[in-house]
């Protein structure tokens, strides 16, 4: 039976996977800001990266190195090393080379990751000086400190874990994520790392990761901005001793995929719940769409509307803003008299008309909740999608106005 909790005691160690954390002082002294991850030889590694064409230097290198035989992740916060040109690429190479030398592996086996301020050169010496401390801190039960070590404007570390038993063997899946702003992934989230002790064939793991990404990290948005540094990585160590999973066609594969998806969704939703200045966790469901793309277009148009988001922050049941957002969604066809909209279970629009029996009081009760469902039926087909988002508050503006100060 799978178990999981937001409490850090429930984020279980994964056999064959280790994490080390150090305080490098990259941007602020006295905080964890450098993380090293390592796994047993023979593990499978998969990843997806941002589609932002101004991708960060570490993303550029990690994409190239993923196809080899990765053995280490090197992650820093406080500096994104994005928009830094050839100097940024050289810096990422220099820091990964330092780790490789100390760990006794080839530089191509180190995948670098960065998050933080864009457009500033990476303080290479500061980072390199802290790598020995991170290596000396390597242990399997270091998930909490690692989650702290990748935070930027996050207010809390984010972790998730599941365990399940199959034929007498217990399997573990654990992970961490970070992100609170510049969140509208086009592949993953800002940074997320998951490890499992199950054995999974590399190409199957990569294909599986793509599917799970679309069901989790590619279904969240806070502000509609896709980061330059988005990366989502999964490592399967094989330390549980099972025959490598090569397809979905087994009971073990089914259990593993369900639990891996659950961890990914929880980590993705944790980012939304910690959205910069957020006071509401909002689910937008679109059903009876002509296609999945139409469903997503409508959902994101509603989720990205500043007028909808500010109404959510104000607890204002001004449902005309939702209606207007649906109407301007860029889909091939929208038949107005087939559209219905709900706030939780309260109908606000019924087949293009104000819902009979709707009252402002009923709408207000829903808008006062910390978690809100906006459900939209297009009456055009059988496709359905769901995304998760936040409101837009004064605090979001303040955080981002003062981000570098």
Tokens of 161: 């874990």
Residues of the chain short of pLDDT 70, as ranges, are: 1-9, 180-190, 223-226, 399-400, 403-405
Q: Which domains are seen in the chain, by residue range?
A: 8-273 (3.60.70.12), 281-401 (3.10.20.340)
Residue 307, judged by CB atoms within 10 A of its CB (0-12, 13-18, 19+), counts as middle
Q: Sheet of 340-343: strands edge to edge?
A: 353-354, 346-350, 340-343, 371-377, 281-289, 383-390
Is 110 in a helix, a strand, or coil? strand
pLDDT at 350: 97
User: DSSP letter string over 139-204?
Assistant: BTT-HHHHHHHT-SS-SS-EEEEEEEEETTEEEEEEEEEE-SSSB--SSS-SEEEEEESS-B-HHH
189 is catalytic: yes
Distance CA 92, CA 56 (A): 10
**Burial letters 126-156, b for 16+ CB under 10 A, else e:** bbbebbeebbebeebebbbbbbbbbbbbbee
- Catalytic residue (choose from 77, 95, 189, 221): 189
Calpha distance 349→355 (Å, rounded): 5
State residue 403's pLDDT score.
62
Q: Read off the pTM.
A: 0.90
Closest by CA position to 389, among listed 298, 286, 289, 309: 309
In the prediction, which pLDDT does 189 show?
Answer: 42
Identify the residue whose tokens are 């999945």: 292
Which residue stretches of 171-291 are H helix? 202-215, 251-273
118 C-beta neighbours (distance < 10 Å), count: 18
Secondary structure class of 271 (helix, strand, coil): helix
Distance, in Å, from the CA atom of 13 to the CA atom of 143, rounded to the nearest integer, reads: 8
CA distances (Å), origin 344, targets 219, 270, 284: 19, 21, 10
Q: Measure the CA–CA gap between 289 and 295, rounded to whole angstroms.
A: 5
Residue 221 near residue 186 (C-beta atoms within 8 A)? no
Q: What are the C-alpha distances in Å from 378 to residues 274, 294, 326, 329?
A: 30, 10, 9, 12
């Amino acid at each position: 039976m799978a178990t999981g909790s937001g409490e850090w005691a429930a984020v279980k160690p994964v056999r064959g996977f280790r994490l080390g954390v150090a305080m490098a002082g990259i941007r602020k002294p006295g905080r964890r800001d450098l993380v090293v991850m390592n796994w047993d030889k023979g593990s499978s590694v998969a990843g997806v990266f941002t589609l932002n064409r101004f991708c960060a230097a570490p993303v550029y290198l990690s994409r190239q190195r993923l196809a080899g035989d990765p053995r280490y992740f090197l992650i820093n916060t406080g500096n994104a090393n994005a928009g830094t040109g050839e100097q940024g690429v050289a810096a990422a190479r220099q820091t990964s080379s330092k780790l490789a030398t100390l760990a006794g592996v080839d530089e191509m086996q180190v995948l670098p990751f960065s998050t933080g301020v864009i457009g500033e050169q990476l303080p290479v010496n500061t980072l390199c000086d802290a790598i020995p401390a991170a290596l000396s801190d390597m242990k399997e039960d270091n998930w909490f400190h690692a989650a702290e070590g990748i935070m930027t404007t996050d207010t809390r570390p984010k972790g998730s874990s599941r365990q399940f038993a199959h034929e007498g063997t217990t399997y573990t899946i654990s992970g961490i994520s970070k992100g609170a702003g510049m969140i509208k992934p086009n592949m993953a989230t800002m940074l997320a790392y998951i490890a499992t002790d199950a054995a999974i064939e590399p190409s199957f793991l990569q294909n599986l990761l793509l599917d799970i990404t679309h069901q989790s990290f590619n279904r969240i948005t806070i502000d509609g901005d896709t980061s330059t540094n988005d990366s989502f990585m999964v490592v399967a160590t094989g330390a549980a001793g099972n025959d490598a999973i090569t397809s979905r066609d087994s009971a073990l594969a089914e259990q593993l995929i369900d639990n891996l998806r659950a961890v990914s969704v929880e980590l993705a939703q944790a980012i939304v719940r910690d959205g910069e200045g957020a006071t509401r966790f909002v689910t937008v469901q679109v059903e009876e769409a002509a296609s999945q793309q139409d469903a997503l277009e409508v959902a994101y148009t509603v989720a990205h509307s500043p007028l909808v988001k500010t109404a959510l922050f104000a607890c204002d049941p001004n449902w005309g803003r939702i209606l207007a957002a649906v109407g301007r969604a860029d889909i091939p066809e929208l038949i107005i008299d087939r559209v219905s909209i709900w706030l939780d279970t309260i109908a606000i629009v019924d087949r293009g008309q104000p819902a009979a029996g709707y009252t402002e009081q009923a709408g207000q009760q829903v808008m006062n909740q910390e978690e809100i469902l906006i459900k939209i039926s297009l009456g055009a087909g059988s496709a359905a999608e769901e995304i998760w988002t936040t409101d837009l508050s004064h605090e979001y503006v303040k955080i981002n106005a003062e981000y570098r100060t």
